């Protein structure tokens, strides 16, 4: 049976996959499993074996420790859907990050970052 640790690793897998712009089918093909299996990993329904986790880290070009980042800080499990939503990387977030990364002018980057912070209320 999967645990909260498995759910955390699954969320990190989802974040890495989305940030790479890959579908579940794409990633599954890269590591030799079905998209349904990737879906189960991401939802924390199935545990990911060490060999498979290694394959996923290589396919996603992330260090294997990426999947465990933040795990030691989790003294409790999420208690609401909003807490779980806070850990999700959305397609819009990925688009913003890619667009921001493509800006070459450092002054424009700084201005854009100030605008984002001001409009989000997170100054």
In tens, the pLDDT along 44-79 reads 999 999 999 999 999 999 999 999 988 876 555 544
Yes or no: say if 4 and 77 are a contact pair by the CB < 8 Å rule.
yes
* Per-residue pLDDT at 113 exceeds 60: yes
Given a cut of 90, whether residue 122 has pLDDT beyond it is no
Annotated domain spans of the chain? 4-88, 90-123
- CB half-sphere exposure, 114, CA atoms < 13 A: 6
- The region that residue 33 occupies, defined by phi over 0 for left and psi between -120 and 50 for alpha, beta otherwise, is beta
Q: Is the pLDDT of residue 100 over 70?
A: yes
pTM assigned to the model: 0.62
Specify which of 41-45, 71-75, 90-94, 112-116 reaches the highest per-range mean pLDDT: 41-45
Residue range 4-88, CATH number? 1.10.260.40
Which residue, chain included where needed, has tokens 């699954």? 10
């Amino acid at each position: 049976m999967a645990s909260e640790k498995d759910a955390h690793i699954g969320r990190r897998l989802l974040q890495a996959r989305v940030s790479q712009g890959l579908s579940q089918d794409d990633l599954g093909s890269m590591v030799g499993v079905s998209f349904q299996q990737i879906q189960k990993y991401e939802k924390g329904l199935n545990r990911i074996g060490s060999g498979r986790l290694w394959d996923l880290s290589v396919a996603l070009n992330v260090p294997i420790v990426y999947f465990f980042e933040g795990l030691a800080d989790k003294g409790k499990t999420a208690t609401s859907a909003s807490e779980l939503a806070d850990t999700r990387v959305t397609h819009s977030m990925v688009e913003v990050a890619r667009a921001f990364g493509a800006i070459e002018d450092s002054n424009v980057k700084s201005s854009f970052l100030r605008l984002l912070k001001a409009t989000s209320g997170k100054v």
